[in-house]
Amino acid sequence: MKVGEINTPALLVDSNVFTENISHMSAARPGTSLRPHVKAFKSSYLAKELVAAGHENFCCATIREMEGMAAAGLGKDLLLANQTLNSERLKKLIDGGSARVTVAVDSEETIQAAKIGGVSEVLIDVDVGMPRCGCHPNEAGELAEKARAVGLNVRGVMGYEGHLMHQKDQQKRDMGMARSIKKLETAHAEVGGEVISGGGTGTWESNNLVTELQAGSYVLMDTEYARQDLPFQQGLFLLTTVISVSGRGHAVLDGGLKALAMDSGPPSLVGKGEIMYCADEHTGITGNSWKVGNRVLLRPAHIDPTISKHEVMHLVEKVSETDDSPVIDTWPIDLRGW
């Protein structure tokens, strides 16, 4: 299949950009010093490319992602970097026998759920500044004791400084980073274990505490991340078709907000012109001359929730407006849903 034959709207991955992003990160964080986060791309097929680059351990945000990675034969060392109370599905996953499963815990309830689910390894999830999951750093040691008391092996700690990922001010980022690192260090000193897991694309270079970096977005990059001074490029595009051209000066594309996440703003148009609006199944564009049938590329603002709206991504050598090269591969987005 050639790019011109793809039914639109459809996601395209630029293979050159993708490969360079992976290489760049692998040089800094080889092997298990990177634990790629599959939540960014929700595809075990894409994950296999990371395995080929030497990264065999993965982070997941949902049990569905854990189940899918195990089913795809990528269960060597899977971390559910999130809390769950679903002992039943943990148990099924563990009984399946095809994955080493570690889960994050931050409460007695989640420790209990892990125990009942037959999980044997956990990380203590620590709040390092972002108001999400994680216990207070001072409570981490006590939680670890509770986990060990019920027979769980505490591999170490986890802390995600999500509040710093998009901090563009270097000084503020450095100060925040120092505080977060101190919290995670404090917790780790109490908890013990060999794993300190955390960080992400935005702090890939500044987080030098973690023994494994939980980055995922770097493989295809967001618009928000692209505004920062990072060495990774945007490699994901929505391919659309002009289905209507108005005498009023606008054209209409056949992909809209059901195909593009809008939480970080509208997509950007590749080439001349501007986005007018995104509706359910349409994007209105203006500021150029288009003809019905033209193909137009959009750059999604936020890749994680954009990818999770689609069934597949098509890998092409180099994405451009006029590209009609062969599709190298089509990756099912098999880890979406819950």
Q: Which is nearer to a second copy, 308 or 325 (CB)?
A: 308
- Return d(Cα 5, Cα 324) in angstroms, integer: 9
Residues 6+ apart with CB under 8 A from 177: 161, 164, 203, 206, 207
DSSP state of 257: T
Is residue 1 at the binding interface for a second copy, with CB under 8 A as the rule?
no
Q: Which range touches a second copy (CB under 8 A), out of 70-78, 131-139, 142-150, 176-184? A: 131-139
Packed helices 63-71 and 87-96: angle between N→C axes, nearest 10 degrees: 10
Residue 10 within binding range of a second copy, rule CB under 8 A: yes
Among 3, 9, 173, 313, binds a second copy (CB under 8 A): 9
Which region, judged by CB under 8 A, interacts with a second copy, from 4-12, 115-123, 188-196, 227-235? 4-12
Binding mask 198-227 for a second copy (x = CB under 8 A): ------------------------------
Integer angstrom CA distances of residue 88 from 95, 118, 201: 10, 9, 33
How many residues of this chain bind a second copy (CB under 8 A)? 60
Give the containing element (helix H, strand E) for 243.
Answer: strand 236-245
CA distance 100 to 149: 21
The reply on whether position 298 binds a second copy by CB under 8 A is no
Interface with a second copy, residue 305, by CB under 8 A: yes
In 3-state terms the chain splits into helix, strand, coil percentages (rounded to 5) of: 35, 25, 40
Q: Does 179 bind a second copy (CB under 8 A)?
A: no
Q: Does 57 bind a second copy (CB under 8 A)?
A: no
Residue for token pair 């590749």: 270
Scanning residues 246 to 275, which ones bind a second copy (CB under 8 A)? Answer: 246-248, 250, 252, 254, 257-259, 261-263
Find out whether 193 and 209 touch, Cβ atoms under 8 Å: no
| DSSP letter assigned to residue 273 | -
Q: How many residues are there in the chain?
A: 338
Task: Tell whether residue 334 is a contact of a second copy (CB under 8 A).
Answer: no
Q: Which of 15, 21, 110, 234 binds a second copy (CB under 8 A)?
A: 110
Query: By CB under 8 A, is residue 289 in contact with a second copy?
Result: no
Q: Of the two residues 12 and 61, which places its CB atom closer to a second copy in the complex?
A: 61
Does 150 interact with a second copy (rule: CB under 8 A)?
Answer: no
In the complex, what is the shortest distance from the CB of residue 224 to a second copy, in angstroms, rounded to a whole number?
Answer: 13
Binding segment for a second copy (CB under 8 A), chosen from 45-53, 78-86, 93-101, 193-201, is 78-86
Secondary structure, 3-state, 306-328: HHCCCCEEEEECCCCCCCCCEEE
Instruction: Give the CB-side neighbour count of residue 105, counting CA atoms within 13 A.
Output: 37
Binding of a second copy by 132 (CB under 8 A): yes
Q: Rounded to the nearest whole angstrom, what is the least distance from the CB of residue 163 to a second copy in the complex? A: 11
Q: How far apart are CB 173 and a second copy at their closest, in Å? A: 19
Which one of 142, 281, 317, 323 is in contact with a second copy (CB under 8 A)?
Answer: 281
Contact map string, positions 227 to 246, toward a second copy, x by CB under 8 A? --------------x-xxxx
Among 242, 225, 305, 300, smallest CA distance to 270 is for 300
Residue 168 CA to residue 230 CA, distance in Å, equals 11
First to last CA, the chain: 31
Report the interface residues with a second copy, using CB under 8 A.
7-10, 39, 61-62, 82-86, 89, 106-107, 109-110, 127, 131-134, 136, 139, 162, 241, 243-248, 250, 252, 254, 257-259, 261-263, 276-282, 284, 292-293, 304-305, 308-311, 336-338
